[in-house]
Structure 1
Amino acid sequence: MNCGVVTFPGSNCDRDCFHILKNVYGADTTRVWHKDTSLDGFDLVVLPGGFSYGDYLRAGSIARFSPIMKAVVEYADKGGLLWGICNGFQILVEAGLLPGALLDNRTQKYMCRYVHLKVENVDTPFTRACESGEVLNIPIAHAQGSYYADADTMKKLEDTGRIVFRYCDAQGNVTEEANPNGSLANIAGIVNDAGNVLGMMPHPERCADPVWPQIDGQKLFDSLFHKTGVRA
């Protein structure tokens, strides 16, 4: 499996993603600079977390115009696996590859802590190693993570099973108290219509190295490598 991790000015989770893909899962992994213009040959492309271009204007709004983004859109349109994590999710939304918007947290504060996620859809390449309704413990680190979409979009996401993760409590209850940032319907991650593009605010790459005490993030990586034989 050939993986590409895109680095924008201000990315700070690109090395984490690269480490997990290359050193933990043994995948052929390449760093892609934001001024590159091709994603040929990749089986998976990751837009990592961070603060691309300092989050000026809106998070992801400037990165959306980086030269690599034309190739990102073409790659997604051809069915390539594309994974946007945190700032990567924000960039995907700004680029129109996923619907909605990521707004300021309702606390108006940056948040960095572990949260519980309920897996709502296991029929995606990113969650097939999970069980329906499974609760994962994965960290968030964002200031603009409150997912918003209009009523028609929300209905479509609900009706078509495109909500992949929701914030919940440790028992899997989706409650207002378990919602860290004010996202509509406790949404933490969604996929596109085709199911090949995932955007999520939590950081599975920060809890996927087996030397760490918390490794729930491995469930997503295990899902991606399930059919490749890269990792047992």
Structure 2
Amino acid sequence: MTVAVVQFGGSNCDRDTVQALEALEIDAERVWHEDSLPEDTDGIVLPGGFSYGDYLRAGAMAAHSPIMDEVKEAAEGGTPVLGICNGAQVGCEASLTPGAFTTNESARFQCEHVHVSVENADTPWTRQFEEGEVIELPIAHGEGRFEIEDDRLAALEDDGRVLFRYCEADGTVTPEANPNGSKHSVAGVTGEAGDNVAVLMPHPERATLPDIGVTDGQGVLEGFRTD
């Protein structure tokens, strides 16, 4: 399979994502946002960075890039699509997933390692984990606070569409473990069309190489494997 990593003007995690996927023996290539998806595309990543300089709102302009119509069509057809950090913002702005990512409660850019609990282990992105398992991933964002109307959040919770939740190392969900003020400590959700689509603020591609010391991100990226 080949995973297309969409490169927008301002993306800065596209190369990291390709390297992480290839380390897992998953073929990947970067695709410029003004081009078409390759015919052999079996998966798509919207990577992190600062697309269009985060003008207007983070991800708002990239959501209208030419390639996004193809991304939406692919998502509706069942192709795995993962939005990471800025890519999560793009995914929300493009209505691939519900809610929005807004300015951190601290009003500061935050770069640190966090713990998240696996809220639903029955998705492509979490099948390598157990429900309730705590994993460690890095974050690097200034607009990572997940916001959504209370009734829509309740529906997400009821439908098992909350993917990850910020927590302490022992799995306890506390305000202190929530780095950005996300509602209900949500760190990632699945898509409107199905769980083949997911967005999350932490960076799994930065937690895949043993030399770095944290490899929990491998399990998330394994969601692209179809065998």
**2-side partners of 1:42 and 1:216: how far apart?**
25
The one-letter code sitting in structure 1 at the alignment partner of 2:9 is P
Which residue in 1 is equivalent to 2:2?
A: 2
Structure 1 residue 102 corresponds to structure 2 residue 108:
no
Post-superposition Cα deviations, 1:156-178, rounded to whole Å, max 9, x if no partner, equal: 10100000100000000011111
Query: d(CA) in 1 for partners of 2:170 and 2:45?
Result: 30
Residue 67 of structure 2 corresponds to residue 68 of structure 1: yes
1:152 Cα offset (Å): 1.6
Retained in 2: the 8 A contact 1:39–1:71?
A: no
- Residue 188 of structure 2 contacts residue 201 of structure 2 at CA under 8 Å; is this kept in 1? yes
Cα pair 2:4 2:37 within 8 Å, conserved: no
Say whether the 8 Å CA contact 2:33–2:67 is kept in structure 1.
yes
Amino acid at match of 2:151: D
Question: Any conservation in 2 of the 1:39–1:72 contact (CA below 8 Å)?
Answer: no
Encode CA deviations 1:5-27: one digit per residue, 9 max, x unaligned: 010000000011000112x1122
How many pairs are equivalent? Answer: 226
| Conservation of the 8 A alpha-carbon contact between 1:39 and 1:75 | no
Note the residue ranges of structure 2 that are not aligned, 5 or more in a row: none
SS at match of 1:211: helix
- State the TM-score, normalizing by the size of structure 2: 0.96
Deviation of residue 223 (structure 1)?
A: 4.3
Deviation per residue, 1:17-44 (Å, 9 max, x gap): 000112x112221211010133532121
Amino acid of the structure 2 residue aligned with 1:218: Q
Please show how residues 133-172 of structure 1 align to structure 2 within 5 Å.
Answer: 133-172=132-171
Partner residue, 2:115: 116
TM-score, normalised to structure 1's length? 0.94
Match of 1:57 in 2: 56
Matches within 5 A, 1:5-20: 5-20=5-20
- CA drift of 1:185 comes to 0.4
Q: Specify the alignment match of 2:198 in structure 1.
A: 198
CA distance in 2, matches of 1:86, 1:43: 21
Give the secondary-structure state (helix, strand or coil) at the position aligned to 1:214.
coil
> Residues 179-194 of structure 1: matches in 2 within 5 Å?
179-193=178-192, 194=194
Partner of 1:28: 27
Q: Which runs of 4+ in 1 moved over 6 A?
A: none
The answer as to whether partners of 1:37 and 1:70 remain within 8 angstroms in 2 is no
1-side partners of 2:146 and 2:67: how far apart? 25
- Comparing 77-86 and 189-198, the one that deviates more: 189-198
Structure 1 vs Structure 2: percent identity of aligned residues?
Answer: 49
Q: 2:220 is matched with which residue? A: 220
Using the alignment, how far apart are the partners of 2:224 and 2:46 within structure 1?
15
CA–CA distance in 2 between the matches of 1:222 and 1:114?
A: 21
1:198-219 per-residue CA deviation (whole Å, 9 max, x = no partner) reads: 0000001001012221111112
The answer to whether the 8 A contact 1:93-1:99 is kept is: yes
Deviation at 1:54, TM superposition (A): 0.3
Q: For residues 152 and 39 of structure 1, do their structure 2 counterparts lie closer, same or farther at Cα, with a shift above 3 Å needed?
A: farther
**Superposition RMSD on alpha carbons, in Å?**
1.1
